[in-house]
Amino acid sequence: MNEAKLKDGERVNQLFSTDVKIIQNSEVFSYSVDSVLLSRFPKLPQRGLIVDLCAGNGAVGLFASTRTKAQILAVEIQERLADMAERSIELNDLTQQMQVIQDDLKNLGRYITGSKVDMILCNPPYFKVDKKSNLNESQHYLLARHEISTNLEEICKIAQRVLKSNGRLAMVHRPERFLDILDTMQAHNLAPKRIQFVYPKLGKEANMLLIEAIKDGSRDGLKILPPLFIHNQDGSYTPEIHEIYYGK
């Protein structure tokens, strides 16, 4: 583990179950439970290439790095966030396994030619931009949360282009976009295979969904996994979430 290179307003947070440390800045970007769950949701390929789209400060790829020997390429459009990701990679001594591209994901073809990717991980902007959108957030959070620089259609189009045949796309999103997700995946020949809804606690509506799809796969064999609850009624983490954060 190397020494953290921190800039103004930054801190280091650790996922204790993995020893991975992440450079964060609450005014710019901080990972949340969605990134942690996405990194744990799919069965990762043990070699080849994994691409983390909409990578933010690199949390998803960094957490995933503890579960695979595959190369990981994080793609992030915002220079400030990509810089945080690069320094977190150095902090965790992962420069031989993981690298960052600071660019619009539309330009991914400049870095990856053909269909060479084994898996895509994506924690995308959740919200469509409309008259009801709150566009008064900081520019960093605005781009991370709203479909301004990219959208679901573009992500699925890129996945279809760069994934190998039977390569997989794993995504975390919002339940209210569920039908949009299914329709868009189908339009790009991405067959959903595993879906899990995530709930704040028992008795509450789902506020996240995890979905994994296969490029050019059969539409048969979809599995709806058991629900995942984040908190017990007293506000503590459920055993499943506690293990993800702190280990057994």
Is residue 4 in a domain?
A: no
pLDDT digits (tens, 9 = 90+) for 26-74: 888 789 999 999 999 999 999 999 999 999 999 999 999 999 999 999 9
Tokens of 3: 């020494």
Quote the pLDDT of residue 219.
Answer: 84
User: Whole-model pTM?
Assistant: 0.92
Task: Write the CA distances from 108 to 102, 142, 145, integer angstroms.
Answer: 10, 22, 21
Does residue 1 fall inside a structural domain? no
**What local confidence, expressed as pLDDT, does residue 16 receive?**
83
Q: Write down the pLDDT at residue 131.
A: 53
Q: What is the CATH number of the domain that holds 29?
A: 3.40.50.150
Query: Residue 2: inside a domain, yes or no?
Result: no
Residues of the chain with pLDDT under 50: none
In a domain, 187, yes or no: yes
Query: What does the pLDDT read at residue 126?
Result: 74
> What's the number of domains the chain is made of?
1
Model pLDDT, residue 133: 55
**Bridge-based pairing state of the strands 163-173 and 208-215:** antiparallel
Task: Tell me the β-bridge partners of 215.
Answer: 190
Full domain range(s) for residue 99: 11-246
* Assigned domain for 91 exists: yes
Strand partners, 170: 121, 212
C-beta of residue 208 within 8 angstroms of C-beta of residue 178: no
Per-residue pLDDT at 78? 92
Please check whether residue 178 lies inside any domain of the structure.
Answer: yes
CA distance 21 to 84: 12
